[in-house]
Amino acid sequence: MAQCPAFLPLTRSTRFAFFKPIPKFQQTRRQLSILDTVSTLTKPTRRGSQNSLPAAYYRGGTSRAIFFRREDLPSDQKQWAPIFLGAIGSPDPLFGRQLDGLGGGISSLSKICVVGKSTHPDADVDYTFAALGVRDDSVDYSSNCGNMSAAVGPFAVDANIVPTEVPTAGTEGVDTTVRIHNTNTGKMIHSTFRVVDGEAEAAGEFSIDGVGGTSSRIQLDFMDPAGSKTGKLFPTGNTTDGIAGVRATLIDAGNPCVFITADELGVDGTLSPEKIDANVDLKKRLEEIRCEAAVKMGIAKDVDNVPGSVPKIGFVSTPTESAKGNVVVRAMSVGQPHKAIPITVALAVAAAAKIPGTIVADNLARKDDSIFVISHAGGVLPVSAKFDSEGHLISASVYGSARRLMEGRVFWK
């Protein structure tokens, strides 16, 4: 019996067998993405009681997400929510495990990324991020995900959204920079990584805490990251403010963030995510502070209308002499303790660390270190922030990794 093209064995000959060649100026050794071999329609297709669309599944940093090409989704963004929720397995109010989808029951595994050709003159691709609720049906576009930003460039290359150079000799590949326009924040991200044989390189010797094994290194430069949602690095004009009875730094770099000290919360700054999650009073207090800060930052008109994903909140402390890192941070993401640290939170920490009077700067150890290192729940993360002579935040940079885990079709009911 003849096999359906979408289910032929994925050899290099069969994966390209059913479609017209791409224009010559875009040709790479790979020629076509496997997403092309499963995408003959721009609208969802139905098989039995289920719908399906071409998709890929990637790890980015310490998170995972389903990736869609913009061209494969309905043109009306209002129609995306049922697709995203069905594919990820939300809402799951009773069990909170998302077993009926590709989610993993925690915020760092309940994410969607949409990538398409750019509408911005200085970018190669547009990238839209959606944070999905686990127990509820929320689809939140109010912020970017820094961890998943690491996978956007590789996906753009793997899915043939951007052309890549092919080395004329040798097999070591070339370094490629993909300029990413994040539609959630309006900000630009430059992603630089190795491309081999027309695909993003996955193998390498680089490792990040929180992820097992090693991968190829990806450099992420977040350009002009200040004021991603509020228009200012310090939305209130102050390095610290009084919020709900505590001192807090309200800063917007990468994403709006709120930083307070572990001491003012009356907790150990090195609490594990499990202990934070078990401390109902602590989580309630953090959410109270976060919501009041959101109003003060101009993100919400009142505490009842604060987005789940911004501002982020974290508590900081000074490392012990034997500990690694310049500052200890425990961060929350969509109401849950993060098992490492959101990259956008790390960018904000690095920026705040360079400004005297912030909560972060007041809790630093080894202030003269040339490399700034954050100690988080899963290990450490080096990150940098660059200011010009006038105090403008030019960029914030971090190294990450990403890997394609699956590509094909994703189904939802």
Predicted pLDDT at 165: 67
363, pLDDT greater than 80 = yes
Predicted pLDDT at 16: 30
What gap in Å lies between CA 349 and CA 149, rounded to an integer? Answer: 18
pLDDT band at 96 (very low <50, low <70, confident <90, very high): very high
What average pLDDT score do residues 308-313 get? 96
Predicted pLDDT at 45: 78
Best CA proximity match to 29, nearest among 178, 168, 151:
168
Best CA proximity match to 327, nearest among 257, 268, 380, 397:
380
175, pLDDT greater than 90 = yes
Predicted pLDDT at 164: 76
pLDDT band at 71 (very low <50, low <70, confident <90, very high): very high
Predicted pLDDT at 369: 66
Predicted pLDDT at 46: 81
As a whole number, the mean pLDDT across the chain is: 90
Q: Residue 267 corresponds to which tokens in the numbers above? A: 């907790």
Predicted pLDDT at 20: 32
Predicted pLDDT at 18: 27
- What predicted TM-score, i.e. pTM, was given to this entire model? 0.87
Predicted pLDDT at 323: 77
What gap in Å lies between CA 229 and CA 185, rounded to an integer? Answer: 6
pLDDT band at 11 (very low <50, low <70, confident <90, very high): very low
pLDDT band at 8 (very low <50, low <70, confident <90, very high): very low
Predicted pLDDT at 59: 99
Distances (CA, A) of 284 to 232, 257, 279, 280, 295: 28, 17, 9, 6, 17
**Higher per-residue confidence, 39 vs 107:** 107
Q: Residue 121 corresponds to which tokens in the numbers above? A: 């003159």
**Higher per-residue confidence, 63 vs 34:** 63
What are the structural domains, with CATH classification, of the chain?
5-226+402-412 (3.10.310.10), 241-386 (3.10.310.10)
42, pLDDT greater than 80 = no
Place of tokens 């081999």: 196
Write the secondary structure of the chain as one string of H (helix), E (strand) and C (coil).
CCCCHHHCCCCCCHHHCCCCCCCHHHCCCCCCCHHHHCCCCCCCEEECCEEEEEEEEEEECCEEEEEEEHHHCCCCHHHHHHHHHHHHCCCCCCCCCCCCCCCCCCHHHCEEEEEEECCCCCCCEEEEEEEECCCCCCEECCCCCHHHHHHHHHHHHHCCCCCCCCCCCCCCCEEEEEEEEECCCCEEEEEEEEEECCEECCCCCECCCCCCCCECCEEEEEECCECCCCCCCCCCCCCCEEECCEEEEEEEECEEEEEEEHHHHCCCCCCCHHHHHHCHHHHHHHHHHHHHHHHHHCCCCCHHHCCCCCCEEEEEECCCCCCCCCEEEEEEECCEECCCCCHHHHHHHHHHHCCCCCCCHHHCCCCCCCCEEEEECCEEEEEEEEECCCCCEEEEEEEECEEEEEEEEEEEC
